[in-house]
Amino acid sequence: MNQQQDKRDAIVETHGGTVWRIALSRTQKEDAAEDVFQEVFLRLFEKEREFDSDEHCKAWLIRTTMICCKRYRSVAFRNATISLEEVSAILCTPEEDSVLFHTLLSLPEKYRLPIQLYFMEGMDAEVAAKALGLRLGTFRVRLTRGKSLLKEALKGEGIDV
């Protein structure tokens, strides 16, 4: 195996989960998420891209995933969705299989994605905002509102946060 292939494998290993989770979260369909996943990495590897850092690579992958999802969702005949239970069964590891994760999936996308990137993926607010194509202030407002919505929803589940 050559050095270029090793580099590609490392990128997929490191960031594949993030791309998959975002694609599944946005498309709500496993086959669509697979298509988006493949398209994102195909775009990455078609051209020899050089990134300043691993965070720059991650931000590019997230932004490209969102663009591919938007393109996928714009096709009118792709309207069948899977339930939140099916999404969580695909996405969840045993630690994530919780009321918190299911509640997060029920939030509107504009609040769910900032929470996912900031808390679950551990991205810096500035990098996550850039990846989502938002101003930093807008990102922070959505993050704060998302946390409030999550807290309220969890109170409804009998969990005091």
| Together in a domain, 143 and 69 | no
Least confident of 29-33, 37-41, 91-95: 91-95
40-44, 68-72, 79-83 — most confident range: 40-44
Token code pair at residue 18: 């993030």
Q: Which range marks the domain in which residue 129 is found?
A: 96-161
pLDDT value of position 141:
92
Q: Which of residues 82, 115, 147 is at a domain's end?
A: 82
pLDDT value of position 160:
59
Number of domains in the chain: 2
Q: Which of residues 32, 51, 82 is at a domain's end?
A: 82
Which residue has tokens 């050089």? 50
Q: Using alpha carbons, list the distances in angstroms from residue 31 to 27, 58, 68, 76, 126.
A: 9, 23, 14, 16, 31
pLDDT value of position 61:
92
| Together in a domain, 42 and 15 | yes
| Together in a domain, 42 and 118 | no
pTM: 0.57
| Together in a domain, 3 and 44 | yes
Per-residue pLDDT band at 89 (split at 50, 70, 90): low
Per-residue pLDDT band at 150 (split at 50, 70, 90): confident
CATH number at residue 139: 1.10.10.10
